[in-house]
Structure 1
């Protein structure tokens, strides 16, 4: 939430694809959405998980959320902290039921309002608990089913709803961001049909998380527009894997991840070794993110107050480890000379798993496969089954790297269009001599930002 404009990927694939900021801003203008009923759903029963916290916002209409669970952040910032919450937003946050209250049908509504003098008010609530983290060698899951404010186009300029978590050391300090960590589970601005997932960490500006942008991704909401429809937004911190991994989902579809190997050890430790995280729900008005996307100052005279973010539930689960964690990446798990299905990956950046393959692959993306055993005799090449519907002039390299996505490639081949995103072709690439057990990274490099390939499977030959 304490960001300017997060990094996101743009391209030319169908409506499922991630929206670039410029494209998204253009779509925001004039987009119309229908109003969906404020449907209630119970907190899901997940037998394999242990519920650590849950609020389904049952209660009488017009009442405040349960103060046993939530506290109100009042004003334009924490006392002694950055002005305007460090984001440049302009609304004064209140505990007025007109801004934040239950609706009597099992939902919380956070509603921005504007008075006759043009002053905006809204609300920001935080969990009292600040210890949300995975158990040793386990997994943490934070989730909310919610509806973004049902407003689009010029009337939505400056709207900034968010569901996110901050590291507990921030409370009482207010100046140690972003080192203590921030997980933006759902952010949206200006009524765009898209959700953003962002990690903030390290130092600002710059640093390993590219602050003040963060490491981010975005995509449209599955099945129905984000605005005016309920969708489920989920964040998982998986400490059962090695390296550990952070994952973001919308309606069960993963669209962003960051793993421990992408960050310096001290950066990862600073954001994961403290007591845990607290959760925030708020609707900001104006600020660096909506301004950056719109390319102008927001809100404007056309921005329409009174459109709430509607929250059905917030829940936190944990799942224990299996006693020893996942297999070490250095242990043999895969035969290099048998087909390795791309969707069996152990970690990734910028990859979408769909239909038995991985896709939306653009420059800088990678997929990780642990424990690939090459044996004592090195391969002579590798063979990958790929497809591409990239337009003319868009191509790139499919590369093999060992043990780190930053290591030099040991093999590669170039690929352009194959005639369609499901027009599969087996393409060989030479590789340097390698023996023993390694973590294999399949990486994707291109001179253009657009997606250029899908990957079904690969294997090595000798």
Structure 2
């Protein structure tokens, strides 16, 4: 994984104020019902070519055949809905999502395979996964890029009716709420229905129905990938550019820009509500039936002619940033010695510590390498009224073989018993970053948080880029 930027640029413009009230969408659909023909003004230059990208997260799906995707990177959505959320995922789709390797697993050839199956009684199963991280966003004054290389299910005509593969992202406040769509934002990097040769890139925002994003359709663009998107693997990408005087969202297929939405095209509060939260999580799924394929077909799907067993293949998913702070999570929650509480559930940059062991090394946007006895303190971290489930730290290690250690979380004193810990050894080098989770015990309210580093060897064993808690 590439190293992060070595400096944080000063933001050149003020962010819009956060929306002061969440928008409730009722029983809102969570993915596109149809495709709006309205498209924002096209770019006159290829913005993608001008970027110098830093890889900040990826999954290459290089596991053995039948292996489930990494639970450190992904979580499985099981059933027909989120607990307490809209039925059928809010889209009308009919497949029951599982974590069965028959529905979702690596193929042994470097791909994730999501397969739609139908049993003898006619019931469909498939799969839907989403990243454990929910903090992907444009860095202050920079650009976020979400990219994947995918092959659509190889089925067409009547046999494809109801197939709905998608590669997309939802705003982090959706987790645990499930009724604040579309205000929190949805970026559909790629959607395809009914085996067609075209794919769609769509923005969902504002309120539903109607609103500035024409819900439930969204603001969308369409591409044929230079011929047919149904022919082999194609690379799809979405960029959120925050580097200019106003923001811009862009969609690409095989490097060709096909859809753009400018911040100026949306009300200020709409843009703020979908961009001024902790970030986004990424989803991959293969739905069957629902409002979008039904609407395109003109009737309910799937049908008796629909052929089960076709798969969405995913070669990789990668997240990059360019410019700005070089991080996908925007500005640090506080600066060293700064006032105000930090949000425990937003990314805390490792370099924003308020205190540390003597001579703590720092390199670029990270701290380290670190060894036994090192520690850092982050003041006034607010856990709220409910305890986190776990925490995740982005770490790298070039430690020699046999050298490892513990990253520990302590509350209010660096000599207190750890409330959470995980072990780390060589990750492939000091710039090979990984997101490693660790369980934590109950904690609420506002506390000073210490990261301490313990090892049975004297050698340095870890560098830390950022960390956050999850609930």
Same-fold call, TM cutoff 0.5: yes
1:6-61 deviations in Å (ceiling 9; x for gaps)? 21379xxxxxxxxxxxxxxxxxxxxxxxxxxxxxxxxxxx9921111101100110
Q: Quick check: 1:141–1:318 contact (8 Å CA) kept in 2?
A: yes
Q: Quick check: 2:51–2:322 contact (8 Å CA) kept in 1?
A: no
3-state secondary structure, aligned to 2:101: coil
3-state secondary structure, aligned to 2:302: coil
Q: What is the 5 A alignment of 1:317-396?
A: 317-321=320-324
Q: Quick check: 2:38–2:219 contact (8 Å CA) kept in 1?
A: no
Q: How far is 1:228 from its partner?
A: 4.3
Q: Quick check: 2:238–2:252 contact (8 Å CA) kept in 1?
A: yes
Q: What is the 5 A alignment of 1:99-178?
A: 99-178=103-182
Separation (CA, whole Å) in 1 of partners of 2:216 and 2:182: 9
Is 1:276 matched up with 2:279?
yes
Q: How far is 1:3 from its partner?
A: 2.2
Q: Quick check: 1:110–1:308 contact (8 Å CA) kept in 2?
A: yes
Separation (CA, whole Å) in 2 of partners of 1:241 and 1:292: 38
3-state secondary structure, aligned to 1:290: helix
1:152-191 deviations in Å (ceiling 9; x for gaps)? 0000000000000000000000000000000000000000
Separation (CA, whole Å) in 1 of partners of 2:261 and 2:98: 34
Q: How far is 1:310 from its partner?
A: 0.3
Query: 1:31: which partner in 2?
Result: none
Separation (CA, whole Å) in 1 of partners of 2:325 and 2:265: 25
1:118-165 deviations in Å (ceiling 9; x for gaps)? 000000000000000011100000000000001100000000000000
Pairing partner for 2:299 from 247, 271, 296: 296
3-state secondary structure, aligned to 2:295: helix
Query: 1:198: which partner in 2?
Result: 202
Pairing partner for 2:60 from 56, 60, 83: 56
Query: 2:335: which partner in 1?
Result: none
Query: 1:8: which partner in 2?
Result: 37
Query: 1:313: which partner in 2?
Result: 316
3-state secondary structure, aligned to 2:88: helix
Pairing partner for 2:288 from 285, 294, 298: 285
Separation (CA, whole Å) in 1 of partners of 2:245 and 2:226: 30
Pairing partner for 1:247 from 245, 250, 256: 250
Unaligned 5+ runs, structure 2: 1-29, 40-49, 327-471
Query: 2:17: which partner in 1?
Result: none
Separation (CA, whole Å) in 2 of partners of 1:182 and 1:235: 12
Separation (CA, whole Å) in 2 of partners of 1:93 and 1:322: 37
Pairing partner for 2:98 from 83, 94, 97: 94
- Change over 3 Å in CA distance of 1:197–1:129 after alignment to 2: same
Separation (CA, whole Å) in 1 of partners of 2:137 and 2:269: 18
TM superposition score normalised by structure 2: 0.60
- Change over 3 Å in CA distance of 1:76–1:322 after alignment to 2: closer
Separation (CA, whole Å) in 2 of partners of 1:322 and 1:296: 48
1:277-326 deviations in Å (ceiling 9; x for gaps)? 00000000000000000001000000001000000000000011399xxx
Query: 2:239: which partner in 1?
Result: 236
Separation (CA, whole Å) in 2 of partners of 1:158 and 1:229: 20
Q: What is the 5 A alignment of 1:173-188?
A: 173-188=177-192
Query: 2:221: which partner in 1?
Result: 217
Q: Quick check: 1:186–1:196 contact (8 Å CA) kept in 2?
A: yes
TM superposition score normalised by structure 1: 0.61
Corresponding pairs, count:
287
3-state secondary structure, aligned to 2:159: helix
Q: Quick check: 1:165–1:280 contact (8 Å CA) kept in 2?
A: yes
- Change over 3 Å in CA distance of 1:322–1:66 after alignment to 2: closer
Separation (CA, whole Å) in 2 of partners of 1:292 and 1:166: 23
Q: Quick check: 1:9–1:218 contact (8 Å CA) kept in 2?
A: no
Unaligned 5+ runs, structure 1: 11-45, 324-462
Separation (CA, whole Å) in 1 of partners of 2:248 and 2:229: 26
3-state secondary structure, aligned to 2:164: strand
